[in-house]
């Protein structure tokens, strides 16, 4: 199952130099590979294994997930915002399919 509905949540107001929490969420089954279907056939593993966060093209955070991360993975991390720019989050699954979402950072 492909990942859908990627979301990035930032604070309503951000000033240059602020350390903010970047909250992210995506819909994905995160199938562990340890389950069996009704006929006893193993259900193959299908998880998001990589999470990459960039600010204006520069990597600022990276995560590797195992099957122990819950379905619809939620992840929040901290980031110092130097000024206006764009936050770009990419999720990559076991099949190598990636989903990217972006969110502009407005400075108030």
Partner 1 sequence: MRERIDIAVLSRRTFIIAGAAAAGLAPFIARADEPAPADTFTQSQDFKQDFARIVGSAKPIEGKVSVDLPETADNGNFVPITIMVDSPMTEADHVKAIHILSTENPHAHVATFRLSPVNAVARVQSRMRLAKTQDVIVLAELSGGEVLMSTTRVKVLIGGCGI
Q: Is 91 in the site for partner 1 (CB under 8 A)?
A: no
Site string for partner 1, 31-60 (x = CB under 8 A): -x-xxx------------------x----x
Q: What's 107's DSSP letter?
A: -
Residue with tokens 């995560």: 63
**Cβ proximity of 108 and 56 under 8 Å:** no
Give the one residue of 2, 5, 56, 67 binding partner 1; rule: CB under 8 A. Answer: 67
Q: Is 90 in the site for partner 1 (CB under 8 A)?
A: no
Give the one residue of 76, 86, 97, 106 binding partner 1; rule: CB under 8 A. Answer: 76
How many angstroms separate the first and last alpha carbons of the chain? 39
């Amino acid at each position: 199952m492909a990942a859908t509905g990627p979301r990035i949540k930032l604070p309503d107001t951000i000033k240059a130099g602020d350390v903010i929490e970047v909250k992210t969420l995506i819909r994905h089954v995160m199938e562990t590979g340890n389950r069996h279907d009704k006929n006893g056939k193993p259900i193959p593993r299908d998880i998001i294994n990589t999470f990459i966060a960039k600010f204006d093209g520069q990597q600022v955070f990276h995560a590797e997930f195992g099957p122990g991360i819950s379905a619809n993975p939620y992840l929040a991390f901290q980031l110092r915002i130097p000024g206006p720019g764009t936050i770009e989050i990419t999720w990559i699954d076991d099949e190598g399919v990636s989903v990217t979402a972006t969110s502009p950072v407005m400075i108030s």
